[in-house]
Amino acid sequence: MIALKSTLDRCCLWILATLAPEDTRDAVLGDAIELATDDRMSLWSNTVASALPLAALKFTALRWRDGLTVAGFVFAVTLWEFTVARQYSWPIAKQVLPYSPLSTAATCMAMYVMLYGVFALATGALIRIAKRAHWMPKLATQLLMLAALAPPVLLLMFPTPVDSVAFRFAQFAAILMGLFAGRERSRHRGSVATIA
């Protein structure tokens, strides 16, 4: 039970750390831990009650230009889907085909997914630069990452005849791997072991 409690506490702290704006994150986590330590308010109930106000507070920190950037990025990623990934996956696959033991369709899909990986890698690198230069708040960069996942989500909802769920999940994986490769680890995700 101790391990379960500890895991639950860690989850709660992670949720609070994710939702709290950067300038209040330490204070929010510290107060939540302090209240939970002598059972004035459990971490779980504090997290549930805090989620909505903290999320609202975080969204008010967004500037209009952050919204425009995210909207522009959704446009760019959709353009990539239709003008690059779909158009160039087959020409590239034709080059690879003589060396590939896989079927034509599989090679073409693999190229499509690879093109997405390249795009996500570039996105991850851009997000990293934006974070270092403090061009955008953390929430805007998180929204950018979500925007990168928009096309496969949309295509899962509205599949074309050649789509398959497994293929779209492969596309998800390629995007996530690209973002992961270009990421910058957050310095706020420190140890939470002291609460146990």
Partner 1 sequence: MSKPKSLGEFEMTVLAAVLHAGDNAYGTSILDEIYERTARRVSVGALYATLSRMEKKGLIRSKLGEATATRGGRAKKYFHLTHDGQIELSRAIASLNRMVEGLDLVAAPA
Which residues would be at the binding site for partner 1 (CB under 8 A)? Answer: 16, 19-21, 24, 26-35, 37, 40-41, 45-46, 49-54, 56-57, 190-192, 194-195
Q: Are 33 and 20 in contact (CB under 8 A)?
A: no
Q: Which of 102, 196 has the CB closer to partner 1?
A: 196
CB of 34 to partner 1, least distance (A): 5
d(CA 36, CA 134): 33
Q: Which of 26, 122 has the CB closer to partner 1?
A: 26
Chain-centroid distance of CA 101 in Å reads 34
Q: Which of 46, 89 has the CB closer to partner 1?
A: 46
Q: Which of 46, 8, 2, 6 is nearest to 28 (CA)?
A: 46
CB of 66 to partner 1, least distance (A): 18
CB of 141 to partner 1, least distance (A): 20
Q: Which of 28, 174 has the CB closer to partner 1?
A: 28
Chain-centroid distance of CA 186 in Å reads 13
d(CA 157, CA 155): 5
Look up residue 194 and give its amino acid.
Answer: T
